[in-house]
Structure 1
Amino acid sequence: TGFQQQYAAARALHPATAYDPVQTIPVDNDINNTTVFIGDLDPNVTEEELRQIFLQFGEIIYAKIPATRGCGFVQFGTRTSAEEAIQRMHGMVIGQQVVHLSWGRSPTAKQDLPGIWGQQAD
């Protein structure tokens, strides 16, 4: 196809340039990530309540509910604590709603976007 020809030509002209799709490590495979994303969070749940609920899984670095609400983030001191929290709390009720947990991005993973931290992993 035309695209493949352009791609091959670009590779021939600029072999040192990274034209290949970037291979990123999924956040859940990042052994240093300890941030959990809590989706569908009851808007009445406070950061302190979130901290108390997740404290059973281990040391918490922070518990944060963005101003937009509807979700939250908990960063644990260890990967094991975060894994256990995701396994045991996914699909459970917090406040009045069933929550969905997944890996979030650690604050250091988003240094290129000032003010944006702890986003849900794609």
Structure 2
Amino acid sequence: MRKGSSFGGDRAESILYLMLVKEENNMTFSKIAFHELETARDKVNHLFNILISGMENNNLDKLKQCEKIESEIDLMVKEIRISHLKRLQNGECMPLSGVVFADIILHLERTGDLLFGISRNLLNIEQY
């Protein structure tokens, strides 16, 4: 049973919606913010690729790697949030753009959580 926006597709739709809001309102992200988004996106994509590889090849080592990658995503997001707050405090970021940026980062992080949850569940199944 679905509860709220918890599936990866919902997260992707939310990111798409936020990017449309950004474009429609002519919002901009700083070069640093854009780089942070790209880095977070790439890390989540890496987690996805490792998960798929582990599933397709029944490779438990790949599935176990997902936990490490998800922890790296969590740490990266924490650093990105700190960097973002500093930009807001220094007036380097417009508040509304900052909200959109923070929401996108949140959805990327939650996508990583969902992917890790899948890998963890698959590993639990393998134990039985």
On whether the aligned pair clears a TM of 0.5, the verdict is: no
Greater Cα radius of gyration, structure 1 or 2: 1
- Of structures 1 and 2, the one with the larger relative CO (CA 8 A, separation 6+) is 2
Higher fraction of strand: 1
Report the TM-score, using the length of structure 2 for normalisation: 0.25
Report the TM-score, using the length of structure 1 for normalisation: 0.26
